[in-house]
Amino acid sequence: MSADLFEFLCRMGDNTLILGHRVSEWCGHSPVLEEDIALANTALDLIGQTQLWLGLAGEVEGQGRSADDLAFLRDAWDFRNVLLVELPNGDFGQTLMRQFLFDAWQELMLGALKESSDARVAEIAEKASKEVAYHVERSGDTVIGLGDGTEESHQRMQAALDYLYPYVGEMFESDAVDAAMAKAGIAPDPASLRDAYDARLAQVMAEATLSIPDDRFAHAGGRTGRMHTEHLGHILSTMQWLQRAYPGATW
Amino acid sequence: MYAQMIKTAGTGVKSRDDMTPEEAAFQDRIDADIKIEPKDWMPDDYRATLIRQIGQHAHSEIVGQLPEGNWITRAPTLERKAILLAKVQDEAGHGLYLYCAAETLGISRDELTEDLLSGKMKYSSIFNYPTLNWADIGAVGWLVDGAAIMNQVPLQRTSYGPYSRAMIRICKEESFHQRQGYDIMMKMAQGTEAQKKMAQDALNRFWYPSLMMFGPSDKESVHSAQSMAWKIKIDSNDELRQRFVDQTVPQAEYLGLTIPDENLKWNEEKGGYDFSEPDWTEFFNVLKGKGPCNTERMNARVQAWEDGKWVRDGLLAHARKRAARKVAAE
């Protein structure tokens, strides 16, 4: 059980770590000052959640690894984030579309985790869900505003959705780890969240005047570690550089 | 503070006899420490000077995100990353308060932004220097925020109400940033040989540019008298620089780092340190756009503004559609 729980916690923490990294790349470059503040705030929340998920993962593993050890000293094959969060930022529209597609999933996942049989998981979910309620409201409103904005903004948002939609399905995959989590009442079976997600997506995209692609094909391999995108290695080589170049230093 | 070389509008301090009744009443309020508020009468030159000063400060907060943002993706621990993100978010927030304060003087944020991007308005010279190693993030907090606080604390008492109130909020956050910066320096200075080397390297590169933040010597600052009479400048550049050096030298000693100035010496008689002047030729070159990062900083801001146009237009178009739909429904 503890190996499955460790795997599950890494999936949660790696999602927030890698997405937080991506969002933080916007610092100082966003279209308007309010967005600089909002993006930094979102990245900050995600990194804070990472500290909690990976901190607990290290505790459950019981080999003395801290959240920092897990974040900075694992190689790409040990990362368990979904592929969606490692995709490049693209333009602002692609970044916010990616954020909404993730936020809408995370809101449902955390909602279920608040009822987790593991009190430590429930406690993290309780705290994180307050932040994510704000994230999903903002990313959803921005997707609607830009989808139903000008001709150009509409086209860019449709292109972002077309590009990102094939990465949505992976968030709802289930494997043996998920089965073990569901059986123990620790976490829901991700597949069970899909209908509510689809309903939310349909509502927001209708308001945004955007068309959800018919093809439900899903790229996968991130959350199992079977095969990440080429992007992850570059993220890690930036993120982990100081820890790797100066091993054992205290910062 | 992040405003340097602000040219005071007007022809200098007027004597009482030369003032109109309105100007005399205005000066009386300032002398009595009564705040000037947006709807109050004020001389055009007071308004123009404040717009320059507050605008330059706001631009500095915005451009200042770039050298720190340069290290967010490479911060060495999750905690350091979170602290740096929170700090950069605060800087953007400071920019927002300051643009709002400037707007009360009758200029829009978009107009100020256009003036920054066209090069008509400046931002602090300090942000044209690069952040090259992780200790630079410590040095920016310790020295750059330290120098900013030195100037901003007196400005909490400035005569213009909205500016004064913005400064009070900003100073609280800046003090916190300075402590965080010093904390990074402590870790580095007590760390491995490589970390000590990074800390010393950061101090070597940021020392003189930090001294330049206060602007040229009082002898060169021909416009200060009017700004001081209006209480939009409280202390002279040299007074503030001296205070900064006196505060910082013992902190560097505590860290075991060497300030890169062979002439640095305690002067018992004046009760402060003697120290070398920064290279003012370099300073004026940086102001003219010839600093190490001027081109990159401006290009980054111009690109963010141009790339973001479709987003601003899109959101505005949506807001108009919604408003129109609301009217149609009523």
Task: Delimit the domains of chain A by residue range.
Answer: 2-245
Question: pLDDT tens digits, chain A, 251 residues: what are they?
Answer: 699 999 999 999 999 999 999 999 999 999 999 999 999 999 999 999 999 999 999 999 999 999 999 999 999 999 999 999 999 999 999 999 999 999 999 999 999 999 999 999 999 999 999 999 999 999 999 999 999 999 999 999 999 999 999 999 999 999 999 999 999 999 999 999 999 999 999 999 999 999 999 999 999 999 999 999 999 999 999 999 999 999 999 99
Q: What is the pLDDT of residue A139?
A: 98
- Return the ∠ at Cα A171 (arms to A103 and A9), rounded to 5°: 85
Question: Is the pTM higher than 0.80?
Answer: yes
> At residue A213, what are phi and psi to the nearest 5 degrees?
-60, 145
Is A208 part of the contact surface with chain B (CB cutoff 8 Å)?
Answer: no
Q: ipTM value of the model?
A: 0.97
**pLDDT, tens digit, 9 for 90 and up, residues B118-151:** 999 999 999 999 999 999 999 999 999 999 999 9
Please state, as a whole number, how many other Cβ atoms lie within 10 Å of the Cβ of residue B11.
Answer: 9
- Residue B219: what pLDDT? 77
A183: closest CA of chain B, how far (Å): 32
Scanning B104-130, the segments in alpha helix (DSSP H) are 109-117
User: What value does the mean pLDDT of chain B take?
Assistant: 94
Across-strand partners of B273?
B266
- Burial track A107-135 (b if 16+ CB lie within 10 A, e otherwise): bbbbbbbeebebebbeebbeebbebbeeb
**Residue B1 pLDDT > 60, yes or no?**
no
Q: Which of B213, B201, B306 is nearest to B258 (CA)?
A: B201
pLDDT at B223 (0 to 100): 66
Packing angle of the helix pair A119-147, B309-329 (nearest 10 deg): 80
pLDDT digits (tens, 9 = 90+) for B285-308: 999 999 999 999 999 999 999 999
How far is residue B283's CA from residue B53's CA, in Å, rounded to a whole number?
Answer: 18
Across the interface, of B73, B310, B311, the residue whose CB is closest to A239 is B73
**Chain B residues touching residue A30 (CB < 8 angstroms):** 304, 308
Residues of chain B contacting A246 with CB distance shorter than 8 Å:
192, 194-195
**pLDDT over 90 percentage in chain B:** 88
Q: How much is the pLDDT for B90?
A: 95
Residues of A in contact with B183 (CB under 8 A): none
Residues B92, A40: C-beta atoms closer than 8 Å: yes
**What average pLDDT does this structure show over B147-163?**
95
**Which of A91, A242, A243, A244 would you mutate first to test chain B, the one with the most B CBs within 10 A?**
A242
* pLDDT above 80 for B3: no
Token pair, residue A205, equals 């995209």
Query: Would you give the DSSP letter of residue B11?
Result: S
Task: Decide which of 3.40.50.10490, 1.10.3720.10, 1.20.1260.10, 3.90.230.10 is the CATH code for A2-245.
Answer: 1.20.1260.10
Q: How many whole angstroms from its chain centre is CA B89?
A: 15
CB contact under 8 A, B194 and A153: no
Residues B188 and B210: their CA atoms lie apart, in Å, by 20
Give pLDDT tens digits for B75-106.
999 999 999 999 999 999 999 999 999 999 99
Q: How confident is the model at residue B4 (pLDDT cuts 50, 70, 90)?
A: confident
Cβ count near B61 (within 10 Å): 25
